[in-house]
Chains A and B, each alone.
Chain A
């Protein structure tokens, strides 16, 4: 509001100055009019400015803030702490259970939010299968995860698969806990 006022006075001043400048070129025609007589009615003061209100804060959008931080991260940074959740499998199996379906639904939402992302799904196995067969089992796990993403509306063109069998375990241990971590479809963002 103040800025408006000062702008208007600046315009008025410019007009007055302009008038003065123009006036110098022409002789005055009329005499100055005498000021009007004072009136008895007191001049009402201008209304008080409204009390200052706090700057309106934008509605909190917790979803968009991490989104922006993801979008600004490098591929390595994204993959180091990936927002795409792994899917875990039972021994010798490539079926996706309910927990896996939830993870894939979350991943699909994220991929819809970032439509330029390309991903690779790595299929991994635990050490209890043979090295050779596991290359195929890992492939089947990766494909199962891709098919589910495609069923949720993600274009198959965006999703590559690769099986590493049991060559790259996430946990080098030989316990049920380690094995359960190693039977997975692991998501890697390859382009954004």
Chain B
């Protein structure tokens, strides 16, 4: 294995690590199961007419008058509204309809009659305060409006540099508390972008570099990870979220690299044995499937993440490429043109029991949903471009979630399986979007340059 040092990456990710780890709930660390709440009985907020419960999230109140706290209080409320709206477990009442309702004077003095009048079933209020050591303290309550009962109460302290992360944490914990759902507010995306408009060196052609970027799930905090001024594509998060494996042409041909983004180090597990591209992590993070031409034609291989124990799992004169693992790690879906055009197939991780899934003309980039869903998303050519289709293994049926708006490619599931990120040209340039697995709730994530190959952190 080759190790390269990248001080810029290290610096970048120190900053990220700060945002990602320093905000501490006063609850126990999430890795240990939370103890039962002594002061709260778990109450699920419902809507009396059987609709999704209606939630209101007014601006948080700044408990101190400094400009940072005032700005942070407003931002936390806005971001939290968006985060809760994203999962579509609740109906989020538009914020402009309650701008006239006065902010709560304290967490125990809430104008519940006004919120009831608005039709809110749940109300999230909170306060933001700068602490003497320069940190930020956020207190939050979720009330059931009908009973005026606090059903969720938390307090967080952490660095004031990234107020959005407080909102994301609150959203994830409310989803966990109310819906036993793993929200995605603290997850991240990675993708490849040509936004820097830098020219590839060592060629007389005018070619734009593509570099790897990461961002929050909602597109905030977009940061560049690679700085090698070549083609860097198909990034994919390690399951522990600490590394990104991707295809880079930094040596003049495609090869696999793993950027350990918190350590700022770089590994090259395939060590330029042949040409290698499209890495896919096994669900436990110990293995990587990838495409290689090392035996003369594109075939699929699996190796340990350190590059050892490489074994070939396809053997066909046709192209075999674009692997993705099933959530159990027992199966791999991939693309092959053994029947003529490219189609999606599934096989055991040992390469046996190959069966074809797609039937449209020209399909590619399968991505396996996490549990509890059991489905495979991929794209198929429909008319001039591509659309995302989803094969449901249980129902043995196909559904389509984009419908001819631009060309739609490279779908990637969110870790809870409820959403997909993908590339679309619907607004002209290629941009990253997210959409629900039912095709609803589309959001544009990137706006600068062209952006491709999204992958969603676990």
The interface-forming segment of B2-10, B50-58, B290-298, B346-354 is: B290-298
With A76-B204, A139-B298 as given contacts, are A132 and B278 in contact (CB-CB < 8 Å)?
yes
The number of residues on chain A lying at the interface, defined by a beta carbon within 8 Å of a beta carbon of chain B, is 26
Contact of B204 among A79, A127, A139 (CB under 8 A): A79
Contact of B364 among A76, A130, A140, A143 (CB under 8 A): A130
Q: Is the CB of A80 within 8 A of B365?
A: no
The number of residues on chain B lying at the interface, defined by a beta carbon within 8 Å of a beta carbon of chain A, is 42
Taken together as a complex, chains A and B put the C-alpha atoms of A127 and B384 apart, in Å, by 10
Taken together as a complex, chains A and B put the C-alpha atoms of A56 and B321 apart, in Å, by 65
With A80-B204, A168-B205, A168-B207 as given contacts, are A136 and B379 in contact (CB-CB < 8 Å)?
no
B274-304 residues at the A interface, CB under 8 angstroms: 275, 277-278, 291, 293, 296-298
With A139-B298, A162-B254 as given contacts, are A131 and B410 in contact (CB-CB < 8 Å)?
yes
Contact with B along A130-156 (1 / 0, CB 8 A): 111101110110010000000000000
A26-51 residues at the B interface, CB under 8 angstroms: none
With A130-B409, A162-B253 as given contacts, are A136 and B319 in contact (CB-CB < 8 Å)?
yes
Q: Is B60 an interface residue (CB 8 A)?
A: no
Q: Is A129 an interface residue (CB 8 A)?
A: yes
Contact of A135 among B207, B278, B341, B384 (CB under 8 A): B278
Taken together as a complex, chains A and B put the C-alpha atoms of A170 and B205 apart, in Å, by 8
In the bound complex, residues from chain A placing their C-beta under 8 Å from that of B247 are 135
In the bound complex, residues from chain B placing their C-beta under 8 Å from that of A79 are 203-204
Taken together as a complex, chains A and B put the C-alpha atoms of A5 and B342 apart, in Å, by 84
Taken together as a complex, chains A and B put the C-alpha atoms of A127 and B200 apart, in Å, by 20
Q: Is the CB of A136 within 8 A of B204?
A: no
Taken together as a complex, chains A and B put the C-alpha atoms of A135 and B256 apart, in Å, by 14
Q: Is the CB of B252 within 8 A of A92?
A: no
Q: Is the CB of B210 within 8 A of A167?
A: yes
Q: Is the CB of A140 within 8 A of B297?
A: yes
Q: Is B233 an interface residue (CB 8 A)?
A: yes
Taken together as a complex, chains A and B put the C-alpha atoms of A185 and B410 apart, in Å, by 25
Q: Is the CB of B298 within 8 A of A140?
A: yes
Taken together as a complex, chains A and B put the C-alpha atoms of A133 and B291 apart, in Å, by 11
In the bound complex, residues from chain A placing their C-beta under 8 Å from that of B452 are 131
Q: Is the CB of A132 within 8 A of B364?
A: yes
With A162-B252, A162-B275, A163-B254 as given contacts, are A133 and B322 in contact (CB-CB < 8 Å)?
yes
19 chain-A/chain-B pairs, Cβ below 8 angstroms:
A76-B204, A80-B204, A129-B342, A130-B342, A130-B364, A132-B364, A132-B410, A133-B335, A136-B291, A136-B319, A139-B293, A140-B297, A140-B298, A162-B249, A162-B275, A164-B231, A167-B210, A168-B200, A168-B205
Point out residues on B near A: beta carbons under 8 Å.
200, 203-205, 207, 210, 231, 233-234, 247, 249, 252-254, 275, 277-278, 291, 293, 296-298, 319, 321-322, 335, 337, 341-342, 362, 364-365, 379, 381, 384, 386, 407, 409-410, 423, 452-453
Known: A120-B252, A129-B342, A164-B231. 16 other contacts (CB 8 A): A76-B204, A92-B362, A128-B384, A130-B364, A130-B365, A130-B379, A131-B423, A132-B321, A132-B335, A132-B364, A133-B321, A133-B342, A135-B247, A135-B278, A135-B291, A168-B205
Point out residues on A near B: beta carbons under 8 Å.
76, 79-80, 92, 120, 127-133, 135-137, 139-140, 143, 160, 162-164, 167-168, 170, 188
